Amino acid sequence: MIDSRWRLQWLGAAVSVLAMAGCGGGSGLVPELRETAYGKVRGVDDSHVTGTYAWKGIPFAQPPVGELRWQPPVTPAAWSGERDATRFGHACLQMGRLYGPGANNRFDNTIGETLGTPVGNEDCLTLNIWRPANTQDNLPVLLFLHGGSAISGYTADPVYDGAALARKANAVVVTANYRLDVLGFLQMPQLHTGTGPYTGNYALLDNVQALQFIKRNIGNFGGNAGNVTLMGQSAGAINALALLTAPQAAGLFHKILPISGGISLPSNLPAGTIPTLNPASKYAAQSGALLAALALADGLAPDGAAAAALVAGWTPAQTATYLRGKDARVVLQTVLQKGLTGSGPIPDGVVVPANPVGDIAAGRYHKVPVLSGYTADEAKLFAPFLALLGGKPGMKITDAERFAMTQNFNPDAPASLMVADILDPSYLPVTTPATGYNARMKLLGSLFIDPSRDNLLDTLRTQQSNVWSYQFDWAQQPAPWADVYGAAHGFDLPFVFGNFGPSLLAKAANSTANQPGRLALSGVMMDSVRAFVHTGNPNHVGLGQEWQPWPRKFIFDADLKATRLSIQ
pLDDT at 178: 98
Say which DSSP state 480 is in: T
pLDDT at 25: 52
Per-residue pLDDT for 152 more than 80?
Answer: yes
Cβ-contact 204, 352 below 8 angstroms: yes
CA distance 220 to 222: 6
pLDDT at 176: 99
Helix (H, G, I), strand (E, B) or coil at 131: strand
Strand-pair partners of 567: 554
Per-residue pLDDT for 558 more than 50?
Answer: yes
pLDDT above 70 as % of the chain: 95
CA distance 409 to 405: 6
Angle between helix 328-337 and helix 280-297 axes, rounded to 10 deg: 110
CA distance 425 to 441: 15
Say which DSSP state 451 is in: H
489-501 pLDDT, tens per residue?
999 999 999 999 9
How, if at all, do strands 172-176 and 126-132 pair?
A: antiparallel
CB atoms within 10 A of CB 412: 10
pLDDT at 4: 37
Integer CA distances (angstroms), 3 to 6, 15, 343, 548, in order = 5, 18, 72, 64
Per-residue pLDDT for 19 more than 70?
Answer: no
pLDDT at 13: 36
* pTM of structure: 0.95
* Closest among 181, 150, 152 to 287, alpha carbons compared: 181
Per-residue pLDDT for 27 more than 70?
Answer: no
Collect all residues with Cβ–Cβ distance below 8 Å to 514 and sequence separation of at least 6: 476, 477, 478, 560
CB atoms within 10 A of CB 15: 10
CA distance 468 to 470: 7
pLDDT at 499: 98
> pLDDT grade, residue 195 (50/70/90)?
confident
Say which DSSP state 395 is in: B
Helix (H, G, I), strand (E, B) or coil at 259: strand
Q: How many residues does the chain have?
A: 568
Average pLDDT, rounded, for the chain:
95
Q: What's the distance, CA 447 to chain centroid?
A: 23
Integer CA distances (angstroms), 279 to 228, 234, 291, 345, 355, in order = 30, 19, 19, 9, 9
CA distance 382 to 338: 22
Among positive and negative, which fits the CA dihedral 226, 232, 237, 239?
A: negative
> pLDDT grade, residue 20 (50/70/90)?
very low
Per-residue pLDDT averaged across 474-481, rounded? Answer: 98
pLDDT at 194: 82
CA distance 134 to 333: 47
**448-463 burial: b if 16+ Cβ within 10 Å, else e:** bbbbbbebbbebbeee
Q: List phi, psi (to 5°) of 255.
A: -150, 160
CA distance 521 to 557: 7
- Provide the residue ranges of all domains of the chain, joining segments of one domain with +: 369-567
CA distance 311 to 13: 72
Cβ-contact 364, 349 below 8 angstroms: no
Helix (H, G, I), strand (E, B) or coil at 398: coil
